[in-house]
């Protein structure tokens, strides 16, 4: 029994799932529910949400499977020090994913999309003590993050072209968008986002890497929900972007290549979890391919296969977790003969795997029949699509055998732990999923018009799908199914040879997407290191010179590009302030040239005091007082610190280069300031402050009223900065005292 | 510094400085002064005392850690701002419950309100933050001097 | 008179910048003080100078006298002075701390984080030894 509090997320998720299930009748009746709140009204961006068939299916998967995953995680990681962290991250992910599939606003969708990317990064890197987990988390983040950026650009272009950020309104203007000149760029960018997220070729490599995540996380994110976000996006935007030749060919080819290639790679794996990861990519490829098709059967296939895959794949992932927990290993070569000791696990694995392999009467069979039906119905290249589907499905049968048959039968192997069935808390979730797969297969009317039809209508508005049936009579799809089983069994029995030939080096011809990624990453890193070395040589005077040169260039650029005439007024400056200015200048020159700290400090004091007198002279009483007080404190703290700092050597050499930079900067500042004061003065703000100070803010000292009332937010920010400066200075100095203590200890 | 005269003088001067600084804070709305100037005045008093007596002595006389004082000050300023929001206006809008302006006669009542709380916060933040810096610096220098002996 | 102040500001900026580029911490701090003074004066001059008419509402009036000094730049400078002090104090603390850790006030010799051979591309980043305290690591890096 896990701690009750850790079951809270599961309970909440289940309740939300039930709440969503309550909408099924309404949605099935063809209604679309919306809710929105203004967010950035100026840019036409709202927090807008929409619930239609497609959203509802995904929402049910996110919350329903989510509830099972939360329960499973709470038990699987019972007593783990980071269990709370895991549950929090999973909850954040579930919220992001739910927002993603419910969003009706493109920007809202993007924000939640990135939310899933970030939580996925944190969850893949959950065991961050392991270097592998860190690398793979980063890989998932880089690949999906770059795709996310492309998606953002695509959505903004799409919004600009459609004149709205509402996805539902975009979908209503499909013809306009498809005819626009920006259609191709939009499509490429959206595809990049969807393909990276859903791990389509050539971005398929990150998903197996993401298996570094804990098993329940993989079952949830990298199988049932997050990786389907790309599929969701493509389905969601099908009315707006779909139906063209580019759409069909890109999705069909990318989907088919992904599907076949990864189903082959799946047979190569020895780690059960990795094998499941590759079959997940295969399923995603199939979904992508059928989204390209655009026919009634294709849309039905997408809808049904989404359900099929979510049910059996989550169940199988969790089963692998059970095997891992029970025996201490996931390596297929170390497992065998578990049927007697783990009968419950065997049952669940069998139920899920039969659905995966597409045996009747499981829902997987209906899904597979639909796949063949839809493949043959593809208008342009039915043979290509059907062959790809046949190959992938045969591999799927073999993979199902590898997961559900190989570990349980044959010779019992020595495993790290003595195998036993886990507690019911752990197996109830996957069991429920597996049983659902059977139930929906036997009674397809449960999901037919209530779930599948609304999804199809979201993808192809107004389409009426055919009824789901388990038995269609003897036809071509059934023949293909039989052929699939035959091929699949052959592959399963020849698995050892196939694996060894697949694992040989020259099989891929040296092409490996993962290796390419790491090569690219290495090149990028060394480029970054080179840039850092070049720009940041480590010499602080170089940094300062660069900063001053850039500042000078900016100031001179601004000065030279302005067309203001130079017309100094003829008035002769007052004698007293002029003398004070001279005094200040001479004192600054003393600071510049002196080799003595004491002279420098004194001269600085004279500069500050002179400026204070200027303030007094020109009616700035408060400023003058402040300047004097601060000047005292400046001299005080400098004197305190300089007592201890070593004397500064007198500058022997004249630094001509620095002198040029400094003079150019000073001249530029002087010229710009002169240009400013020669312009006519705009007194409006001052007049407002003067007029409002007493009647409205009740203060006779206008300066102080500005500080504490009119511009109090500035003041608040400034005192906060002073406090932060104090905290930082105190921290640095106290750390210094500690360092001294360490040093002393070392000397002893 | 070991000057008995300075020590005795600053011990008397410190309260005078503090009272004067509070007066300057108070009158700042109508005459030169205000939270910044008042705070700096108070710092000068404390700093003089710290030099004449010792940092520890000055810390004792202050009773609270200067950084805490500064934090309380910032909190006062934020509260003064929130007062404006709570009274139905904007954040940092001035609220004077006992004070009003009568056209032709000038202001009437007690000048107590959110703006004074805000300015008091500025006073405390400046006092606390600058004292914290001076104390830490002097202590660090002192520790270094001890260490090199 | 504003033009004279413009010239003075330019001169202070030049002195401050030259001092800051000297590569010695103490001169850097002196330059920083000059630079922040120059910035305050620049704001002051840009708001125009008014002789001996502070922006106060005299008793019996409801607004400052016509032609009173511009109050806005004064308010801006007043806070800028205090901020400038905070910045200086922080810089001073850092300077003192850097001297404590690294034993030098020559800025270009402070290379604990960016060792010379790293800049030349010869070695990888220096890694800290997790078994030792942060301070120990820094001290060793400095040696």
More confident site: C131 or A198: A198
Instruction: Determine the pLDDT at residue A511.
Output: 61
Confidence of residue C140 (pLDDT cuts 50, 70, 90): low
Residues C131, C129: Cα–Cα separation, whole Å: 6
* DSSP conformation class of A417: S
Alpha-carbon radius of gyration of chain B: 19
Residues A673, A186: Cα–Cα separation, whole Å: 48
Residues of C in contact with A622 (CB under 8 A): 74, 78
Instruction: Determine the pLDDT at residue A449.
Output: 83
> A588: exposed, middle or buried (C-beta count within 10 Å: 0-12, 13-18, 19+)?
buried
Do the chains contact at C105 and A648, CB–CB below 8 Å?
yes
Residues C24, C21: Cα–Cα separation, whole Å: 8
Confidence of residue C120 (pLDDT cuts 50, 70, 90): low
A30-86 pLDDT, tens digit per residue, is: 888 888 888 888 788 888 999 999 999 999 999 999 999 999 999 999 888 889 899
Residues of B in contact with A695 (CB under 8 A): 101, 103
Residues A223, A199: Cα–Cα separation, whole Å: 11
Rounded to two decimals, the ipTM of the complex is 0.93
Task: Give me A225's structure tokens.
Answer: 């929900």
Residues A139, A120: Cα–Cα separation, whole Å: 11
Is C128 a residue whose pLDDT tops 60?
Answer: no
If phi over 0 gives left and psi between -120 and 50 gives alpha, with beta otherwise, what is residue C123?
A: beta
Mean pLDDT computed over A377-397: 83
Domain ranges in chain C are: 1-50+70-91
A613-646 pLDDT, tens digit per residue, is: 999 999 899 999 999 999 989 888 888 888 777 7
Residues A82, A79: Cα–Cα separation, whole Å: 9
Residues A240, A161: Cα–Cα separation, whole Å: 11
Question: Considering only residues 633 to 692 of chain A, which have any Cβ-Cβ distance to chain B shorter than 8 Å?
Answer: 633, 636-637, 640-641, 643-644
Instruction: Determine the pLDDT at residue C125.
Output: 47
For residue A226, is the peptide bond before it cis, meaning its omega torsion is within 30 degrees of 0? no
Do the chains contact at B32 and A625, CB–CB below 8 Å?
yes
> A335: exposed, middle or buried (C-beta count within 10 Å: 0-12, 13-18, 19+)?
buried
Instruction: Determine the pLDDT at residue C136.
Output: 54
Q: A32, A280, A348: which is closest to A166 by C-alpha?
A: A32
Residues of A in contact with B74 (CB under 8 A): 719-720, 723
A730 interface with B at CB cutoff 8 Å: yes
Q: A424, A436, A490, A602: which is closest to A1 by C-alpha?
A: A424
C-beta of residue C99 within 8 angstroms of C-beta of residue B148: no
Helices (H) and strands (E) in chain B, counts: 5, 2
Residue whose token pair is 């999901």? A447
Is A87 a residue whose pLDDT tops 80?
Answer: yes
Residues of A in contact with C43 (CB under 8 A): none
Do the chains contact at A733 and B33, CB–CB below 8 Å?
no
Return the H-helix or E-strand segment holding A33.
Answer: strand A33-40
Instruction: Determine the pLDDT at residue A80.
Output: 86
In sequence order, what are the residues at sequence separation of 6 or more whose Cβ sits closer than 8 angstroms to the Cβ of residue C67? Answer: C50, C53
Confidence of residue A564 (pLDDT cuts 50, 70, 90): confident
Q: What residue in A sits closest to B145 (Cα-Cα)?
A: A644
Q: How far is CA C68 from the centre of its chain?
A: 31
C-beta of residue A219 within 8 angstroms of C-beta of residue A317: yes
Residues of B in contact with C100 (CB under 8 A): 140, 144
C-beta of residue A385 within 8 angstroms of C-beta of residue A311: no
More confident site: A505 or A679: A679
In this structure, how many other beta carbons lie within 10 angstroms of the beta carbon of residue A418?
9
More confident site: A419 or B118: B118
3-state secondary structure of A7: helix
* Residue A206 C-alpha, separation from nearest chain C C-alpha, in angstroms: 28
* DSSP conformation class of A683: -
Q: B interface mutation test: which of A626, A634, A642, A704 has the most B CBs within 10 A?
A: A704
* Residue A513 C-alpha, separation from nearest chain C C-alpha, in angstroms: 28
More confident site: C7 or A492: C7
C-beta of residue A458 within 8 angstroms of C-beta of residue A367: no
C-beta of residue A167 within 8 angstroms of C-beta of residue A236: yes
Do the chains contact at C78 and A703, CB–CB below 8 Å?
yes
Residues A513, A519: Cα–Cα separation, whole Å: 10
Residues of A in contact with B44 (CB under 8 A): 629, 632-633
Do the chains contact at B136 and C93, CB–CB below 8 Å?
yes
> A502: exposed, middle or buried (C-beta count within 10 Å: 0-12, 13-18, 19+)?
middle
Mean pLDDT computed over A273-301: 89
State chain C's mean pLDDT as an integer: 80
3-state secondary structure of A538: coil
Instruction: Determine the pLDDT at residue A506.
Output: 57
Q: A153, A209, A225, A216: which is closest to A182 by C-alpha?
A: A153
The share of chain A scoring above pLDDT 90, in percent, equals 38
> B5: exposed, middle or buried (C-beta count within 10 Å: 0-12, 13-18, 19+)?
exposed
For the ranges A240-249, A671-680, C93-102, the lowest mean pLDDT is seen at: C93-102
Question: Which CA distances in Å does C113 have to A739, C109, C135?
Answer: 17, 11, 14
Q: B59, B80, B79: which is closest to B69 by C-alpha?
A: B59
In this structure, how many other beta carbons lie within 10 angstroms of the beta carbon of residue A473?
6
For the ranges A49-58, A183-192, A592-601, C72-81, the lowest mean pLDDT is seen at: A592-601
Q: How much of chain B is in helix, strand and coil states, percent to nearest 5?
A: 70, 5, 25
Is A144 a residue whose pLDDT tops 50?
Answer: yes
Residue whose token pair is 């400034």? A718
Task: Give me C139's structure tokens.
Answer: 């001290």
Task: Give me A73's structure tokens.
Answer: 């995680």
In sequence order, what are the residues at sequence separation of 6 or more whose Cβ sits closer than 8 angstroms to the Cβ of residue A364? Answer: A308, A312, A354, A355, A356, A357, A358, A437, A441
Q: B interface mutation test: which of A633, A730, A741, A747 has the most B CBs within 10 A?
A: A730
Q: Give me the residues paired with residue C56 across strands.
A: A701
More confident site: A595 or B71: B71
B92 interface with A at CB cutoff 8 Å: yes
Mean pLDDT computed over A123-142: 88
Residues A321, A318: Cα–Cα separation, whole Å: 5
3-class secondary structure per residue, A347-404: HHHHHHHHHHHCCCCCHHHHHHHHHHHHHHHCCCCHHHHHHHHHHHHHHHHHHHHHHH
A587 interface with C at CB cutoff 8 Å: no
B136 interface with A at CB cutoff 8 Å: yes
Consecutive 10-residue runs of chain B (149 residues): their mean pLDDT?
76 88 88 90 90 86 90 94 85 82 75 89 94 90 73
> A564: exposed, middle or buried (C-beta count within 10 Å: 0-12, 13-18, 19+)?
exposed
Q: Which chains touch B (3 or more CB pairs under 8 A)?
A: A, C
The share of chain A scoring above pLDDT 70, in percent, equals 97
Q: Give me the residues paired with residue B99 across strands.
A: B109
Do the chains contact at C96 and B140, CB–CB below 8 Å?
yes
Say how many CB pairs under 8 Å bridge A and C: 317
């Amino acid at each position: 029994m896990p701690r009750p509090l850790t079951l809270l997320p599961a309970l909440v998720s289940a309740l939300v799932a039930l709440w969503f299930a309550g909408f099924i009748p309404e949605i099935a009746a063809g209604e679309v529910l919306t809710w929105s709140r203004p967010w950035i009204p100026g840019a036409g961006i709202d927090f807008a949400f929409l619930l239609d068939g497609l959203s509802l299916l995904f929402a049910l998967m996110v919350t329903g499977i989510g509830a099972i995953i939360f329960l499973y995680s709470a038990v699987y990681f019972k007593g783990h020090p980071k269990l709370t962290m895991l549950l929090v991250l999973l909850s954040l992910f579930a919220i992001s994913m739910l927002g993603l599939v419910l969003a009706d606003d493109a920007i809202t969708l993007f924000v939640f999309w990135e939310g899933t990317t970030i939580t996925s990064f944190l969850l893949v890197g959950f065991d961050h003590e392991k270097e592998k987990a860190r690398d793979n988390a980063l890989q998932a983040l880089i690949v999906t993050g770059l795709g996310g950026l492309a998606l953002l650009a695509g959505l903004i272009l799409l919004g600009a072209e459609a004149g709205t950020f509402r996805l539902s309104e975009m979908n209503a203007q499909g013809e306009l968008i498809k005819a626009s000149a920006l259609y191709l760029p939009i499509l490429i960018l959206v595809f990049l986002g969807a393909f990276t997220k859903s791990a389509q070729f050539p971005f398929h490599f990150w998903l197996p890497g993401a298996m570094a995540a804990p098993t329940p996380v993989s079952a949830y994110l990298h199988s049932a929900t997050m990786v389907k976000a790309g599929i969701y996006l493509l389905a969601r935007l099908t009315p707006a972007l779909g139906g063209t030749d580019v759409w069909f060919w890109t999705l069909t080819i990318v989907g088919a290549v992904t599907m076949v290639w990864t189903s082959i790679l799946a047979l190569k794996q020895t780690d059960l979890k990795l094998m499941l990861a590759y079959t997940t990519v295969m399923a995603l490829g199939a979904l992508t391919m059928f989204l390209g098709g655009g026919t009634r059967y294709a849309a039905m296939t997408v809808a049904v296969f989404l359900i099929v895959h979510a049910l059996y794949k989550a169940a199988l992932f969790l089963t692998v977790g059970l095997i891992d927990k029970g025996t201490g290993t996931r390596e297929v070569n170390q497992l065998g003969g578990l049927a007697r000791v783990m009968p419950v696990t065997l049952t669940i694995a069998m139920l899920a795997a039969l659905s995966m392999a597409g045996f009747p009467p499981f829902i997987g069979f209906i899904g597979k029949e639909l796949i063949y039906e839809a493949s043959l119905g593809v208008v342009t290249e039915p043979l290509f699509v059907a062959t790809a589907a046949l190959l992938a499905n045969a591999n799927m049968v073999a993979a199902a055998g590898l997961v559900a048959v190989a570990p349980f039968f044959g010779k019992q192997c020595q495993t790290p732990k003595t195998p036993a069935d886990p507690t019911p808390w752990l197996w109830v979730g996957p069991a429920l999923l597996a049983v659902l797969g059977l139930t929906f297969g036997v009674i397809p009317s449960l999901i037919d018009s209530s779930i599948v039809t609304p999804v199809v209508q979201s993808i192809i508005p107004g389409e009426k799908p055919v009824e789901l049936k388990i038995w269609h009579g003897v036809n071509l799809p059934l023949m293909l199914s039989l052929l699939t089983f035959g091929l699949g069994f052959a592959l399963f029995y020849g698995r050892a040879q196939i694996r060894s030939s697949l694992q040989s080096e020259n099989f891929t011809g040296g092409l490996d997407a993962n290796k390419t990624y790491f090569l690219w990453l290495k090149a990028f890193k060394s480029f970054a290191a080179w840039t850092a070395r070049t720009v940041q040589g480590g010499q602080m005077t170089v940094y300062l010179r660069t900063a001053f040169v850039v500042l000078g260039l900016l100031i001179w650029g601004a000065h030279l590009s302005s067309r203001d005439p130079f017309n100094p007024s003829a008035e002769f400056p007052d004698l007293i302030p002029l003398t004070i200015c001279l005094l200040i200048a001479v004192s600054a020159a003393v600071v510049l040239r002196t080799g003595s700290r004491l002279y420098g400090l004194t001269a600085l004091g004279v500069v500050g005091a002179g400026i204070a007198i200027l303030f007094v002279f020109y009616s700035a009483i408060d400023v003058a007082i402040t300047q004097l007080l601060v000047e005292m404190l400046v001299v005080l703290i400098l004197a305190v610190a300089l007592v201890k700092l070593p004397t500064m050597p007198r500058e022997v050499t004249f630094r001509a280069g620095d002198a040029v930079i400094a003079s150019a900067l000073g001249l530029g500042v002087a010229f710009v300031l002169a240009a400013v004061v020669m312009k006519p003065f705009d007194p409006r703000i001052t007049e407002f402050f003067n007029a409002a100070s007493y009647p409205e803010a009740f203060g006779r000292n206008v300066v102080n009223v500005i500080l504490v009332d009119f511009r109090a937010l500035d003041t608040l920010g400034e005192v906060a900065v002073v406090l932060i400066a104090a905290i930082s200075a105190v921290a640095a100095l106290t750390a210094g005292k500690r360092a001294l203590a360490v040093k002393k200890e070392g000397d002893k | 510094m070991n000057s008995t005269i300075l020590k005795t003088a600053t011990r008397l001067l410190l309260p005078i400085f503090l009272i004067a600084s509070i007066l300057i804070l108070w009158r700042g709305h109508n005459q030169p002064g205000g939270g910044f100037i008042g705070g700096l005045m108070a710092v000068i008093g404390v700093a003089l005392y710290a030099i004449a007596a010792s940092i520890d002595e000055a810390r004792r006389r202050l009773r609270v850690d200067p950084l805490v004082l500064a934090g309380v000050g910032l909190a006062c300023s934020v509260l003064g701002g929130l007062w404006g929001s709570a009274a139905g206006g904007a954040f940092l809008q001035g609220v004077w419950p006992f004070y009003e302006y009568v056209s032709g006669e000038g202001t009437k009542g007690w000048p107590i309100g959110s703006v004074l709380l805000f300015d008091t916060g500025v006073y405390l933040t400046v006092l606390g933050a600058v004292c914290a810096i001076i104390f830490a610096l002097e202590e660090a220098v002192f520790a270094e001097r001890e260490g090199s002996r | 008179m504003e033009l004279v102040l413009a010239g003075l500001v330019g001169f202070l900026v030049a002195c401050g910048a030259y001092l800051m580029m000297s590569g010695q911490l103490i001169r850097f701090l002196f330059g920083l003080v000059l630079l922040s003074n120059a910035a305050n004066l620049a704001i002051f001059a840009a708001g125009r100078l008014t002789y001996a008419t502070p922006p106060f509402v005299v008793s019996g009036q409801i607004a400052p006298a016509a032609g009173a000094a511009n109050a806005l730049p004064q308010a801006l400078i007043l806070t800028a002075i205090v901020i400038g002090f905070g910045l200086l104090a922080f810089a001073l603390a850092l300077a003192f701390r850097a001297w404590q850790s690294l034993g030098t006030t020559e800025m270009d010799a402070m290379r604990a984080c960016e060792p010379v051979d790293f800049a030349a591309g010869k070695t990888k980043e220096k890694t800290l030894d997790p078994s030792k305290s942060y301070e120990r690591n820094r001290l060793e890096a400095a040696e």
